[in-house]
A and B are shown apart, each in its own frame.
Chain A
Amino acid sequence: MAELTIVRPSAFKQFRVLLGKELRQEFRTREMLTSMGIYALLVLVIFGAALSQAAQGFDILQVSGGLIWALIVFTSLLGLNRSFSSEKEEAALEGILLMPMDRSLIFLSKATSNLIFLLLVELISLPLFYFFFLTISSPAPSFWMASLPLLVGSIGIAGVGTLLATITSNARGKDVLLALLFIPIIYPLLHAVVAATTVVVVGGDNLVGTFATSLALAGGYDVVMLALSWFLYEFVISN
């Protein structure tokens, strides 16, 4: 055999390789994206059925933030539950755990890929939400600012969700367990991003104040929870 040279790669390079593998795998099978996309469409259909009986004069703008985040949270749960399926099938996770690397990179690459998939599904489902539910109302001109809470909220969901999906991946009844852990833990984030999203859709005098406060709360939540997830990940994945 030829002479073999091995140079320990940097953490960033290993992260890129791990993320590349996640994306290649998903874009080849489209397993997670397809199921999340279809699920998001079905949730929109249910919203349609629920709102079709609303009373005359009902202002959908007031609940639009909540509806958007309900759509995102339920769709992300489906994706998170599947995020370790390829690692479990042939024990590929053990192969990764045997590699000389900082195991927190597994968290970073999984969370990043989960975030990318979630944003892609949002990119398809949220314009549809706008088309079906908001075109008959008149959202405030600040509506475009909703992209900020959407990004901050999605980062938090992908980060915390990845940690919890790792914890529950070996558990019996992991689907229910993940939801039971996930929703109470992300509640503060959810509260903040629903407030920030609603206020930019509705508009009003206190738009800037409410938006800034809610976004700061959501951003703070992301920083604290992502740092905690990064710190705990080695322990979680090794046990």
Chain B
Amino acid sequence: MTDTVAIAPDIHLALAIQAEGLGKSFGSRKALDNVSFELPEQAFLSIFGHNGAGKTTLLRVLSTLARPSAGKVEVLGLDVREKPEELRSRIGLISHRSMLYPDLTAEENLLFTARMYGVQNPKARVSELLELVELTARRHDPVRGFSRGMTQRIAIARALVPDPALLFLDEPYSGLDPHAVEILDRLLERLRFGKNLVMISHDLNHGFALATHLLVLAQGKVALFTERDELDVRSFREFYRNSVGAGGI
């Protein structure tokens, strides 16, 4: 359907992600097909594509939740097949599902995560994160009673508990109210310094504005991988419309 357009960065920095011929199949269906790209450290990658393009599968492979069927992938210099456990201690994932226990309180959910990762002085860390997501006052309330936006803020705090070097975000804005969007924007602005961020987005303008790098997937293949500064938003939209189709814009 589309040809790969890869614009290599001029300066070779240490790599946050290095994917080479990555493939993932479910039976005879190829969800990812020969995906290759190199993301330098301290980058913010926005991933775009239609439903079923392979975005979530790519994120699941990169975050060790799924094993690749073909190719080689290194995340933060660690092979996802060979050193998944070591890698898990350095990454975080925020999904459109909160990954929280609804019957536990906000504080209990975060304390559970902190203790599993071995955070020293977990209570102080949890208090700090609750403050960051502006939910200190609701720390003793069960998550089940939270609005979608509040739940997502606790999910963000959960992902930040071990202070991951790389944060994956799978449509984190989905279903958020404007206040929650504002808080998430502020958080991402703050996190982008010193961290690597990889985000799946359906919003071209928003995803483009936040990113340093852009990746477009179409039918499991890389349609475009480039530094954001190589394109302006208009030409990116045009590329997306022409090569991937108008449905996702």
Chain A residues at the B interface, C-beta cutoff of 8 Å: 1-2, 4-9, 13-14, 17-18, 21, 24-25, 28-29, 86, 89-92, 94-101, 238
CB distance A7 to B67 under 8 Å?
no
B124 proximity list for chain A (CB < 8 A): 2
In the assembled complex, the CB of B58 is this many whole angstroms from the nearest CB of chain A, namely 16
Of the residues B67, B92, B162, contact of A6 by C-beta under 8 Å: B162
CB-CB nearest 8 A-B residue pairs? A95-B99, A100-B89, A91-B97, A9-B118, A5-B120, A100-B88, A17-B115, A90-B98
In the assembled complex, the CB of B103 is this many whole angstroms from the nearest CB of chain A, namely 5
Of the residues B118, B120, B121, B158, contact of A95 by C-beta under 8 Å: B158
Most chain B beta-carbon contacts within 10 A, residue among A5, A17, A100: A100
- Bound complex: CA of A100 vs CA of B89, how far in Å? 5
CB distance A14 to B99 under 8 Å?
no
- Return the chain A residue nearest B66 by Cβ: A238
B116 proximity list for chain A (CB < 8 A): 9, 14, 17-18, 96, 99, 101
Which residues 69-125 of B sit at the A interface, judged by CB distance below 8 A? 85-86, 88-89, 91-93, 95, 97-104, 108, 112-113, 115-121, 124-125
In the assembled complex, the CB of B195 is this many whole angstroms from the nearest CB of chain A, namely 12
Beyond A5-B120, A92-B101, A98-B64, 19 extra complex contacts between A and B, CB < 8 Å: A2-B124, A2-B125, A6-B89, A6-B117, A6-B119, A7-B120, A17-B112, A17-B116, A28-B103, A89-B102, A90-B99, A90-B100, A92-B99, A92-B100, A94-B65, A98-B65, A98-B91, A100-B85, A100-B86
Assess whether B128 is interfacial by the CB under 8 Å rule: yes
CB distance B119 to A4 under 8 Å?
yes
CB distance B88 to A98 under 8 Å?
yes
B118 proximity list for chain A (CB < 8 A): 6-9, 13
CB distance A24 to B119 under 8 Å?
no
- 21 A-B pairs in the complex with CB atoms less than 8 angstroms apart: A4-B120, A5-B119, A6-B117, A6-B119, A6-B120, A6-B163, A9-B118, A17-B116, A25-B104, A28-B104, A29-B103, A90-B97, A90-B100, A90-B101, A91-B95, A91-B99, A98-B63, A98-B65, A98-B92, A98-B93, A100-B85
CB distance A2 to B88 under 8 Å?
no
A101-B85 contact in complex given A4-B125, A21-B101, A90-B97, C-beta closer than 8 Å: yes
User: CB-CB contacts of B119-135 with A at 8 A, as 1s and 0s?
Assistant: 11100110010001000
In the assembled complex, the CB of B31 is this many whole angstroms from the nearest CB of chain A, namely 15
A8 proximity list for chain B (CB < 8 A): 89, 118
- Bound complex: CA of A24 vs CA of B105, how far in Å? 11
User: CB-CB contacts of B144-168 with A at 8 A, as 1s and 0s?
Assistant: 0000000100000010001100000
